[in-house]
A = this chain, B = another copy of it.
Amino acid sequence: VSEERATATGFPGPRVGIVGGGQLARMLAEAATPLGIHVRVLAATEGECAGEVVPDVVIGSPDDAEALRSFAATVDVLTFDHENVDHDALVQIERDGTPVRPGIATLRFADKAHQRREFAAAGLPVPPFVVIDPVRDLDHLSVADGFAARYGEMTNDGLIVLKASRGGYDGRGVWMLGRSELAAFLAAYRGAPLVLEPKLALERELAVLVARRPSGQIVTWPVVETIQVDGMCDEALLPAPVDVTLAAEAERIGRAVAITVDAVGVFAVELFVSDGQVLINEIAPRVHNSGHVTIEGSMTSQFSQHLRAVLDWPLGPTDSVAPAASMTNVVGDDADDPRDRQHLALAASPAAQLHLYGKAPRPARKIGHVTVLGTSLESCRAEARAAVDALIGGSGDDGVQGSSDG
């Protein structure tokens, strides 16, 4: 099989197939190159941003079982840029002999309702919750109303958070409603089942990144604080400025989740800190925005580590390389294209590490991130923010040039 594959890809080393061609695939490919790992990407369209920097791109839908199977047959291991993949095809691919990492059982944890039920059953700390299916459950409104009556008082403003169990990201698929608004919302709702939870008073949000190999080795990075704006991750701070007890609890939860979900590869556990308790908000069974800070900030980045983990190679150290590191996302805007403005960002913050994903700017679209290493989180945050502001520009045009040598 190995020789057939070498012929298929024309490449002698390990071959990792990635389903999806977004920025996570792109950054996995960046990490693969120095490791001598060949990356082949299955992209749904020619325009996905990994294609700009990966020579070996196959066009095919992640819902097309035949496309997935023939793609998987040419690589040593299959992994993912996103979880919206035909699961039946993955079962067949494992039978065909190509490992799928993370495995199908882990990918099911992309469903927020499944997460909550399984974590609660495993005794892991989660917020109070209930799952309703407005499309199929006849009693969904009375269940929701009862939940709101009981838990609305836990919150400052009586609001209940409703999250679509599937398909949501970056604040999409999340609603906050008062008890009196539930009936009208649910009557009109036609989507996936909903997870309801009280709108907790949060002290902060954390994320713990974990990597696990098939042979069992587990490592975690120092816990990160994430700062959300409009339900979308805006900044990640490494290390989170929390006491050692809280950090240890976050790490303990990360390791327990690794076992519960039978993880292979890198995954992120997003955590709430509320009333001094650490609770699991949700997990992402893959490399994650909160881990982009590890590219420069850690001895081993989440992307290198994910490749090592899915190939069952020894994992690397996760120590930070600087006392502080901060990442700020670059979110699109109507006005300027950051791909012509790097010199302005570097003038504002010469130490800024720019990451542009090759995506055209659109409002509320993540198109890059900036990381700064230093000695204090506050100075790193200020430098990263200055670079992002220069990249995004805006109405006050400052004479940016299309060509850098003008």
Binds B, one of A166-174, A178-186, A347-355: A347-355
Scan residues 44-67 of chain A and give those whose CB is less than 8 A from a CB of chain B: 51-55
The answer to the question of A404 belonging to the interface, with a C-beta cut-off of 8 Å to chain B, is yes
A311 adjacent to B55 (CB under 8 Å): no
B35 adjacent to A311 (CB under 8 Å): no
The answer to the question of A316 belonging to the interface, with a C-beta cut-off of 8 Å to chain B, is yes
Scan residues 1-17 of chain A and give those whose CB is less than 8 A from a CB of chain B: 1-2, 11-14
Residues of B within 8 A of A354 (CB): 34-36
The distance from the CB of A25 to the nearest CB of chain B, in whole angstroms, is 12
The answer to the question of A317 belonging to the interface, with a C-beta cut-off of 8 Å to chain B, is yes
The answer to the question of A33 belonging to the interface, with a C-beta cut-off of 8 Å to chain B, is yes
Residues of B within 8 A of A356 (CB): 13, 34-36
Query: In the complex, A56 Cα to B266 Cα: how many Å?
Result: 31
Among A36, A351, A405, max chain B CB count under 10 A is at: A36
Out of B2, B52, B300, B351, which one reaches A402, CB within 8 Å?
B2
The distance from the CB of A6 to the nearest CB of chain B, in whole angstroms, is 9
B342 adjacent to A405 (CB under 8 Å): no
B405 adjacent to A99 (CB under 8 Å): yes
Out of B55, B308, B402, which one reaches A54, CB within 8 Å?
B55
Residues of B within 8 A of A358 (CB): 36
Closest to A352 in B: B316
CB contact under 8 A between A313 and B343, given known A36-B358, A403-B76: yes
Q: State how many copies of this chain the complex holds.
A: 2
The answer to the question of A339 belonging to the interface, with a C-beta cut-off of 8 Å to chain B, is yes
CB contact under 8 A between A12 and B337, given known A55-B55, A405-B311: yes
Among A99, A311, A339, A404, max chain B CB count under 10 A is at: A404
Query: In the complex, A55 Cα to B77 Cα: how many Å?
Result: 22
Query: In the complex, A63 Cα to B204 Cα: how many Å?
Result: 61
Residues of B within 8 A of A55 (CB): 51-55
B308 adjacent to A346 (CB under 8 Å): yes
The answer to the question of A338 belonging to the interface, with a C-beta cut-off of 8 Å to chain B, is yes
The answer to the question of A314 belonging to the interface, with a C-beta cut-off of 8 Å to chain B, is yes
The answer to the question of A340 belonging to the interface, with a C-beta cut-off of 8 Å to chain B, is yes
Residues of B within 8 A of A76 (CB): 403-405
Out of B2, B36, B355, which one reaches A34, CB within 8 Å?
B355
A77 adjacent to B313 (CB under 8 Å): no
The answer to the question of A163 belonging to the interface, with a C-beta cut-off of 8 Å to chain B, is no
The answer to the question of A299 belonging to the interface, with a C-beta cut-off of 8 Å to chain B, is yes
Among A34, A35, A76, A300, max chain B CB count under 10 A is at: A34
10 example contacts (A-B, Cβ-Cβ < 8 A) are as follows: A14-B340, A29-B53, A30-B30, A34-B355, A36-B356, A37-B342, A51-B55, A76-B403, A214-B405, A300-B351
| A-B interface, 6 closest residue pairs, ranked by CB to CB distance from nearest | A36-B356, A13-B339, A313-B343, A314-B346, A311-B404, A34-B355
